[in-house]
Amino acid sequence: MDTQSASSPAPFGTAAATGTTPARIALVGVHGFGTHHLRNLERLSSQGKVDLVAVADPNPPAPGDLPATTAVHANLDELLAGEHRPDVIIVATPIQTHAPLALSVLASEADLYLEKPPVASMSDFLHLQEAAEEAGRRVQIGFQSLGSHALAALEQLAGGESSEELPSIGNLKGISATGRWVRDRAYYKRSRWAGKRSLDGVDVVDGVATNPLAHAIATALRIAGARAAGDLASVETDLYRANDIEADDTSVIRLRTINGLPITCALTLCATESVEPYVTLHGTEGTAVFHYTEDRVTVRTEAGETSHTFGRDDLTENLLQHLSEGTPLLSPLDHSGAFMRVLEAIRTAEAPALIPGECVSWVGTGEQAHAVIPNIEDILERSTQAHATFSELGLPWARPVTAGTEALFSPDADAGPPNAHSTPTAVLRSGSNLEPDLSPRPYLHPVSTPSGISVTDHLPSDHAWHLGAGFALQDVNGSNFWGGRSYRRTAGKYVDLKDHGRIETANVAREEDATTLDLNWLASDGSLVLNERRSLSRTLLDERTWRLEIQTRLTAVVDVSLGSPGSHGAAGSGYGGFFWRLPVNASSRVFSSTAEGEPSVHGSVAPWLAWTGEFDGGPATLVFGAPSESADPWFVRCSDYPAVGSALAWDAAVELAAGDSLTRTNTVWISDGILDVAEIEGLVSGR
């Protein structure tokens, strides 16, 4: 049996359990985040909990930064050969060095604290797991946010319960993570590996999602209960860079757990200003926003707002308590499997796309200059609200989406005026990839004027289910084909229900200036309730105006009731049917042949309604012609958000017996410039 002299350090577990000897700690990497560990170890040393016996770094610390008794080495090999017998070795070095250094630590007799991300590839992660198991050593990963006491309360909210500090947000629908930081040119020149995907043939993967804002993803995964790689059903990446680097600085990472929970992380280092990152739990009765760097949670429900700031356990202390008392590790190696699956997806993804220079602004000069993507704050919000990638949002700098989209009515030298714009005047989107609570359906976006000014918007942050130009209803036999919450008379308010239907394309017939869609309306239970034939046709009028006609013929498969919030008792909210969501525009004016302004036009019946404004790209006018089949009221929003609709069921449901049909034909004149009433009347009379 081995014996131990009184002058030799006791085995860690024995010493810590009795409190007779401080834990012997070694630190590899004293610069960068290593300075945080030095400060923390100084704190723990003052409490008699640790003794920093040695450090290793090729660039020695400044005189006075370490206790006089701490040995200094150039590298880990020298440190391990120094007979310091550390109980725990902390590795806070560049990402690409984590794997070899961690394996060397595990081959010694020390336990390991490894900074995030654990390693730079899934194969290295699996190797590290195997080595830790064979050595019987403990490994704590440095995701500091996982030490927050808020996580226990958030996991209760995620389970549909309230916690002692926070009220319930109902059933969890999804999780999002948002990070908006600023990093200047100097940040990417601080070391050879900064902003690299690989260095000298070795994986680095130093992107926004894997290093500076990795905690956002790790925290979201923990709340969702996704720890192992197998806890994720899918991982999608949409990666971009505004800086002159290899890795991504602006990205969306979209995940889905094996239980079907969506998690969308929208992150950037090109914000206007740095703000505290946060993870949001989206529930049926409210939201919970976790600012994880501050351990602060804010819950918003109809009852009001509640905030609570929680405490946090230090991960180094937690590791020491685990070794001495058996306290569970807060961030063990095995719980990083789901995060490593995300990192692996980023590592193996197509190289990040460069955002064109005209889509980036630079603030500051020299090495202190930093890139800013205009409107990035709203873009991140739109992404997380709709669980959509940048490509799916159709941003001008994002990779184009080809699946489920097709250009309609593309002008060319033969078909249009001589100065017709070279881009399509309308794009048809199937909507099939949308989240269920957006009521997936086909729609047009973008729709443009002849000069190329876009006059539609989709997936906006205020109403993610507003989809360009199309046709939808909020209530068909109890199924919501509109998206979002449903208004119910019995509740007297909008309620979050799993009642969303979807509209699927069965067939498409194309002609030069017309497209006909055969569509199936599938209720929330999957049953077929309506067949629709939707015809989209274009007429080029002159060099500044074209006409779009959207005709919808609904045929009931079963007896159906076509309703709206208005038919359920929400006065003035009878939207449903033809709907056009406009982009934000300045100097907006909405008027009809009989009324001026939103309060007067909304709910009125008039043969036409016009919208003029200064859009991104210039002034434009939209003239909406009322359907010839019925005198449906106009639905108008201008002050809260820009939208126009023709209400099919304003204050009463429309009943259709099985086999019966209903037709609505809506006409829109789309024009460059601001048209006056005489010009508008001329367009409408020439219909």
Per residue in 140-179, pLDDT (tens digit) is: 999 999 999 999 999 999 999 999 999 999 999 999 999 9
For 668, residues 6+ apart whose C-beta sits below 8 A from its C-beta are 469, 547, 548, 549, 550, 580, 622, 623, 624, 625
Using CA atoms, how far residue 274 sits from 279, 308, 366, 368, 461, in Å, is 16, 22, 19, 14, 20
Give the alpha-carbon dihedral of 475, 480, 483, 489, to 10 degrees.
Answer: 60
Per residue in 285-326, pLDDT (tens digit) is: 999 999 999 999 999 999 999 999 999 999 999 999 999 999
Does the pLDDT at position 413 exceed 80? no
**Is residue 671 helix, strand or coil?**
strand
Q: How confident is the model at residue 420 (pLDDT cuts 50, 70, 90)?
A: very low
DSSP letters, 470-493, are EEE-SEETTBBSS-S-EEETTTTE
- Residue closest to 282 by CA, chosen among 302, 262, 268: 262
Q: According to the model, what pLDDT value does residue 408 have?
A: 87
Give the mean model confidence (pLDDT) for residues 401-417.
Answer: 67
Q: According to the model, what pLDDT value does residue 339 have?
A: 98
For 15, residues 6+ apart whose C-beta sits below 8 A from its C-beta are 9, 21, 22, 23, 87, 324
Q: According to the model, what pLDDT value does residue 17 have?
A: 37
CATH value of 407-685 in 2.70.98, 2.60.40, 1.10.1660, 1.10.1760: 2.70.98
Q: According to the model, what pLDDT value does residue 610 have?
A: 98
H or E segment and range at residue 679: helix 677-685
> Bigger pLDDT: 411 or 476?
476
Given a contact cutoff of 8 angstroms between Cβ atoms, the answer to whether 194 and 187 are in contact is yes
**Is residue 635 helix, strand or coil?**
strand
Q: Is the dihedral of CA 438, 441, 443, 445 positive or negative?
A: positive
Per residue in 579-596, pLDDT (tens digit) is: 999 999 999 999 999 999
- Residue closest to 338 by CA, chosen among 191, 141, 515: 141
Q: According to the model, what pLDDT value does residue 664 have?
A: 98
Give the mean model confidence (pLDDT) for residues 460-475.
Answer: 98
What 71-78 contacts at long range (C-beta under 8 Å, 24+ apart), as own/partner pairs, is 76/28, 76/101, 76/104, 76/105, 77/104
> Bigger pLDDT: 338 or 402?
338
Longest dimension (CA), the chain: 104
For 647, residues 6+ apart whose C-beta sits below 8 A from its C-beta are 564, 566, 574, 575, 576, 577, 632, 633, 634, 635
Per residue in 110-123, pLDDT (tens digit) is: 999 999 999 999 99
For 162, residues 6+ apart whose C-beta sits below 8 A from its C-beta are 156, 168
Does the pLDDT at position 414 exceed 90? no
Burial 91-110 (b: 16+ CB within 10 A, else e): bbbbbbbbbebbbbbbebeb
Does the pLDDT at position 2 exceed 80? no
CA dist 59 and 103 (Å) reads: 22
**Domain spans in the chain, listed from the N-terminal domain onward:** 12-146, 147-311+325-379, 407-685
Given a contact cutoff of 8 angstroms between Cβ atoms, the answer to whether 125 and 62 are in contact is no
Q: According to the model, what pLDDT value does residue 402 have?
A: 85
Whole-prediction pTM value?
A: 0.93
Q: How confident is the model at residue 687 (pLDDT cuts 50, 70, 90)?
A: low
Q: How confident is the model at residue 1 (pLDDT cuts 50, 70, 90)?
A: very low
Fold of 147-311+325-379: Dihydrodipicolinate Reductase; domain 2 (3.30.360)
Give the mean model confidence (pLDDT) for residues 97-111.
Answer: 97
Residue with tokens 């942050």: 461
CA dist 374 and 250 (Å) reads: 12
Per residue in 49-81, pLDDT (tens digit) is: 999 999 999 998 888 889 999 999 999 999 999
Given a contact cutoff of 8 angstroms between Cβ atoms, the answer to whether 281 and 134 are in contact is no
Give the mean model confidence (pLDDT) for residues 87-98.
Answer: 97
Give the mean model confidence (pLDDT) for residues 212-232.
Answer: 98
Which structure tokens are listed for 658? 């099985």
Does the pLDDT at position 423 exceed 70? no
Does the pLDDT at position 674 exceed 50? yes
Fold of 12-146: Rossmann fold (3.40.50)
Per residue in 491-510, pLDDT (tens digit) is: 999 999 999 999 999 999 99
**Is residue 580 helix, strand or coil?**
strand
CA dist 503 and 471 (Å) reads: 10
Q: How confident is the model at residue 424 (pLDDT cuts 50, 70, 90)?
A: low
